[in-house]
Amino acid sequence: MTLQQDITQLTQLNKKPREQSLDFPEYRGLSFQQFWEALPHKLDYYDYEEELHNDLNETKHLWIKKCAGLGITEFMLRWIAWNCLKDDSWMETQIDIGVVLITGPRLDLAITIINRLKALFPDLKKTKETVCILNGVRIQAFPSHHVASAHGLNPIVMLMEEGDLFPVNQQYEAREVAERYISKTNPWIIWVSTPYLPGGLYQEIEHEQDSIYRKKFMLLDRALKSGRYTQAEVDVWAKSKSFMREAWGEYGYGVGDVFVNFDDIIEEYDTKYIGGRAGTYADPGFGSSKFGRVSGEIRDGIIYVTEADEYERSAPSIMADTMQESWNRHQQSCKVDAANSGFIKELTLRGIPALGVAFGETVPETEGSNTTVTLKKKLPLNASAMVDRKVVRIHRKFKDLISQMRAVTFNKMGGIDKSELPFDLVDAFNMMLWDMQSFDYSSIGIRLDGSIIGDDKPKSKSVSINTRVVE
């Protein structure tokens, strides 16, 4: 049976006799803490869990960035079960389903979370693996790649479990499905996750102004204060590459493999242009992704990042204004991904001698080599080498660039893996480092007529570095 066929039977299933699901009368009328303590599987009830309970009484739209191991998923399952069993309000309110749980993209994750809920009540009657029925309230988990199947339902609660781990397109679809019911059934919409990649919906909600969501940061400080973790446990955990992400909510830590151990090139310095060789570089992403722009200047043989900004679905004219402002500061190199010829033409009409970087063009694999690779593969290899050799500096205020660098990975072909995120800022950063090397062949550009610019003469006031191939 398909998911869609299963959904069409929801109303029929809910019309079956009440004895199809036990109502556990021993839990009726209990407060949430009393219910928690009465469950057969005993767990401590922490102060931050009481705080979350109060939040859910005060708002129906909650976004939580959590430290791993806090037990927030367990809290949510118990809160859902309590609302099903404390009285008949959810059962009487339910139209076709009570709770929709959106999990990650694998079916086994949906089954696992429902099994955790069922494990609270050993006497539950057998139901489908992704379904639990408590006091007539139907709770169903859907993998995130089947979130469209929840379009026709009328939930009381929509819980996005580990929502930042959904593929980005599925994050946006889950949000659309959830929020479309606000004017209809006004459900609780709850996002819970440890952070994963930068630049996705989760981080977008975190920085939203006038958001509908109350935002909760339940990180390691809360875990230590409550006694959930001891300092000795944290000291061991801190040796993990993912510690800053899973404990302190920093996106991207422990994920990437292109830039490794680059914290010592992150510094404080003046980002204003001071007269050296400079350039502005952009990876336009109108509509499909964000617009990434990076600028840099060479100072005493070191490339300093002076601008690193990302813009959300802005109009091309506005982005052209931004590029013009940046170029006016130094009036030197300006390069853009050649895939957006219209944007390059707009810059040219404004008097900016912008060139396109053709990522499909080939260059020597190493200096003096007879073998070639495409720029698509060579740029991240070159950038990785230059960061590793510390010939670049990044101001700590450029947090979006830094978080993308922590998360970006190589794909099987040796280029940047963009299956989950486009990494627009990293692309612009890689173009900048490539353009500021000591050989003009490494500064390949493409004119609007398609001809290639570049030769092998050394540049003045440039960074000299022999790049390496990363196997």
Q: What is the spatial distance between Cα 353 and Cα 345, in angstroms, rounded to a whole number?
A: 9
Res 386: pLDDT: 94
* Cβ neighbourhood burial of 60 (10 Å; 0-12, 13-18, 19+): middle
Amino acid at site 233: E
Res 104: pLDDT: 82
Q: Which residues pair with 158 in a beta bridge?
A: 100, 189
Q: What is the spatial distance between Cα 31 and Cα 53, in angstroms, rounded to a whole number?
A: 11
Question: What is this structure's pTM?
Answer: 0.78
Q: What is the spatial distance between Cα 1 and Cα 73, in angstroms, rounded to a whole number?
A: 29
> What is the tens place of the pLDDT at every residue in 15-34?
444 434 567 899 999 999 99
List phi, psi (to 5°) of 470. -95, 120
Domains of the chain with CATH codes? 3-248 (3.40.50.300), 263-453 (3.30.420.280)
Q: What is the spatial distance between Cα 337 and Cα 428, in angstroms, rounded to a whole number?
A: 8
> For residue 283, what are its two tokens?
């990876």
Amino acid at site 344: I
> What is the tens place of the pLDDT at every residue in 314-340?
788 889 999 999 999 999 999 999 888
> What is the tens place of the pLDDT at every residue in 438-465?
544 334 455 555 554 544 444 444 554 4
pLDDT along the chain (471 residues), means of 10: 45 43 84 96 94 97 96 96 96 93 86 93 82 93 78 89 89 90 91 92 92 97 94 95 94 91 94 95 76 94 95 83 94 91 93 91 78 89 93 96 94 87 92 77 48 46 44 30
On the CB side of 4, CA atoms within 13 Å amount to 2
| Alpha-helical runs (H) found in 141-214 | 168-179, 201-206
**Whose CA is closest to 461, among 329, 245, 279?**
279
> What is the tens place of the pLDDT at every residue in 343-363?
999 999 999 999 999 988 888
At 41 the three-state DSSP class reads coil
